[in-house]
Copies of this chain bind each other. A is one copy, B any other.
Amino acid sequence: MIDIETQQELATLYSDLAANDLQPLWTQAKELVPFIPKPATLPWLWRWQRLSELANRAGELITVERGGERRVLLFSNPGLNGRPFATPTMMATIQYLNPQEKAPAHRHAAGAIRFVLQGDGVSTTVNGDACEMHPGDLIVTPNWTWHDHTNAGTEPVIWFDGLDDPTGLALDAIFFEPHVDYTQQIERPFNVTTRTYGGRGVLPLGTVPTLQTPLYLYHRQDVDEALNALLEVSGGPMVSVQYINPTSGRSALPTLGCEMHRIVPSGATKPYRKTGNSIFVVYEGSGYTVINGQRFAWHKGDVFVVPSWAIVEHQAHQVSDLFAVTDRPILAALGLFRETTLDQPQQIIGHFAPK
């Protein structure tokens, strides 16, 4: 027990520290350096039915124009104190574009990916290369590439966006610039980066590795074939691919991992945890995922978040494809990626009931 004089001196010390913009570590060591990650991010799920209904209403009420730039709904994880982010590292949105609408050209230091959920007829122009977007396609717009979206079709189109924007903001490194024109000139034939950089095992002679992918459009069909091949070999219940930068074999973007997981109805996947966040988008099928003991049922179009170090098991009712965007490349680059599998399945302690 410390005497009164010491107590007073301590109180004065703490007060003087505060007055000098200093703080003691020893009173808060456990919060600053926890034994294991304690994410504020909550496991969460958004139903497609609600997402598409709200996106449709936004489509009627909101115009797409300079300033607002995009008609997108931001997933706001309830654990993050009202911040408009799905996870502390990733911004995720549902984007809606009416027939004949165009979203204006700009560029930003945030890298982005777009995964098409519904509708045909949109193309995204990336640095002058027009990329057609069909359901299941992935379009990538790396850091500081010009991009705009045009719906030349006859139906509304909805896609999912993932951005590293919160990471860029946390690093105070986000820049933004509107293009001088509302949309870019299309300078080359449609989808040409896919045909030049997306070939099977071939690249233009003399290509050198780059940090950001020169391939902007990844076709659904190619992912489908790769998953089928992996299933032929492994048998299931889950096979997984990542979308890569073909010049390096590494993640398409240095800040966002893009993955597709195919789960077949042959039992649950082994309980697994890793550092870093994942946002899953159900492209096809139905099933459920147990996250830290809570059961999340999912169907086509649903979006759900798995926080860092949460224990995860997937189980499909039918063959299901889960697209995922993650911050895994960041954790790997910084030496912070860890993963492990567990022997025992989780005990179910609750069912998530989305709004």
| A residues adjacent to B (C-beta < 8 A) | 6, 9-10, 13, 16-17, 19-29, 32-39, 41, 44, 46, 50-51, 54, 57-58, 60-62, 67-78, 84, 88-89, 91, 93-94, 108-111, 142-143, 164-165, 167-177, 188-189, 192, 194-207, 209, 211-213, 215, 218-219, 222-223, 225-226, 228-230, 232-233, 239-250, 252-255, 259-260, 275-277, 307-309, 327, 330-331, 333-338, 355
**Shortest Cβ distance from residue A305 to the other chain B in the assembled complex, whole angstroms:** 10
Q: Considering the chains assembled together, what is the distance between the CA atoms of A15 and B41 in angstroms?
A: 22
Question: B174 contacts A202, CB within 8 Å?
Answer: no
**Shortest Cβ distance from residue A118 to the other chain B in the assembled complex, whole angstroms:** 17
Q: Considering the chains assembled together, what is the distance between the CA atoms of A205 and B258 in angstroms?
A: 10
Question: B174 contacts A201, CB within 8 Å?
Answer: no
Q: Indicate whether A89 sits within 8 Å of B171 (C-beta atoms), given known contacts A21-B75, A32-B165, A249-B245.
A: yes
Q: Which chain B positions have C-beta within 8 A of A226? A: 195-196, 199, 202-204
Question: A74 contacts B22, CB within 8 Å?
Answer: yes
Q: Which chain B positions have C-beta within 8 A of A215? A: 200-201
Q: Which chain B positions have C-beta within 8 A of A77? A: 21
Q: Which chain B positions have C-beta within 8 A of A213? A: 201
Please name the residue on chain B nearest to A307 by beta carbon. Answer: B172
Question: A334 contacts B167, CB within 8 Å?
Answer: yes
Question: B76 contacts A21, CB within 8 Å?
Answer: yes
Q: Considering the chains assembled together, what is the distance between the CA atoms of A68 and B91 in angstroms?
A: 36
Q: Considering the chains assembled together, what is the distance between the CA atoms of A23 and B232 in angstroms?
A: 42
Question: B20 contacts A229, CB within 8 Å?
Answer: no
Listed by A's residue number, 23 A-B pairs whose Cβ atoms lie within 8 Å are A13-B57, A17-B54, A21-B46, A22-B74, A27-B68, A32-B169, A35-B176, A164-B334, A171-B276, A171-B330, A172-B276, A172-B277, A173-B275, A173-B338, A175-B338, A189-B233, A194-B201, A195-B226, A199-B223, A202-B226, A203-B244, A212-B335, A254-B333
Question: B202 contacts A200, CB within 8 Å?
Answer: no
